[in-house]
Amino acid sequence: MSAPVAVRVRAVVVSRAAGLVASSLLLVVVVFLSLALGSRQIDLGSVINAILDPVSGNNDHMVVRDLRVPRTILGIVAGAALALGGTLMQGLTRNPLADPGLLGVNAGASLLVVVGITFFGVSTASGQVWFAFVGAAAATVLVYLVGSGRGGASPVSLTLAGTAVTAAVTSVITLLLLANLDTLNQFRFWSVGSLVGRDLEALGSILPFLLPGMLLALLLGRTLNVLALGTDVARGLGLYIGLARVLVSTAIVLLCGGATALVGPIVFVGLVVPHIARRIVGSDYRWILAYSTVIGAAMLVAADIIGRLVVPPGELEAGLVIAFIGAPVMIALVRSRRVGTL
């Protein structure tokens, strides 16, 4: 590598690293705002004291520790997981409009939640989380099996299989909901997507799946870069295509299944965040995955903050706020000339 090229490469790496640090600082700011803002405004000093003095009985401190800290942690974890899962899906299917719904994750999770409510009387978030996770994992595995022909699972076959499975599962969900109004009343809250009503106990149950999923996702950057070159080129470079797709799909199941189980089927985070990261760092998935982790966490927590402030003294669910933000962005992506260059 010539000296001028080496200098340019070093400058790009420094620039991307600086951007990642700036994004991380932005996430820190959003976290503090999440702890301070809401129907009850709490000054920054009280927020810091609430964190440093966990035995204080001050009302503001209790609001911060017992209500806002858990939902902020859930927003960080779920936002990062959804963004990473969306990035992996777009890389695996080479579809710039892929999100966790593409491989049946949302539909599978929703079906099992409905089954749990209808036939097992599950009414708590900590109980629903396991049904949602198993449903998301089962649907993703089914999509992969259906989409695997003689030549293996191709991006097109996975997309078509995901669409077909989602349509079939959605029909079953609708049938169950129409037959039981009590189930409909419980399910509609979960289906909106929210950080409210979830606790750290549920997060503790799913974290053993989310953490390996995140680690695996961050290690798959080089693999996605090779897959982006096309199947024939990737195989020529020595990549085991089948194994690579299985690893990516496994990470998707762990991330999207776990996040959907925790906060419900929140859309657009997995769709929009990878494009934001791609606009900043280009096509290198190693950096896209790193940026997506931070931006996804910040976006979901920020959506939760906005939901607390726009209709006082009530709240809008984070899933609704994300939809309001994500829909215009999706329209812009569809109309963009660069949408097909993934």
Quick: pLDDT tens for 120-163: 888 777 788 889 889 988 998 898 888 876 656 667 787 788 88
Paired tokens of 277: 């990261």
Instruction: Return the CA Rg of the chain.
Output: 21
The 10s digit of each residue's pLDDT in 260-310 is 888 988 888 998 999 999 989 989 999 999 999 999 999 999 999 999 998
Confidence class for position 77, pLDDT limits 50, 70, 90: very high
The predicted structure's pLDDT at residue 1: 54
Detail the DSSP E strand segments found in the chain: 148-149, 152-153
Overall average pLDDT of the 241-270 stretch? 89
What b/e readout covers 95-120, taking b as 16+ CB neighbours within 10 angstroms?
A: bbbbbbbbbbbbbbbbbbbbbbbbee
User: Is residue 249's pLDDT more than 90?
Assistant: no
- Where in the chain are the domains? 3-35+74-340
Superfamily grouping for domain 3-35+74-340: ABC transporter involved in vitamin B12 uptake, BtuC (1.10.3470.10)
CB 270 within 8 A of CB 89: yes
**In 10 A of CB 205, how many CB atoms?**
16
H helices of 94-154, in order, are 105-120, 125-147
pLDDT-derived band at 56 (thresholds 50, 70, 90) equals: low
Measured distance CA(137)–CA(312) in Å, rounded: 37
pLDDT of residue 71 exceeding 70, the answer is: yes
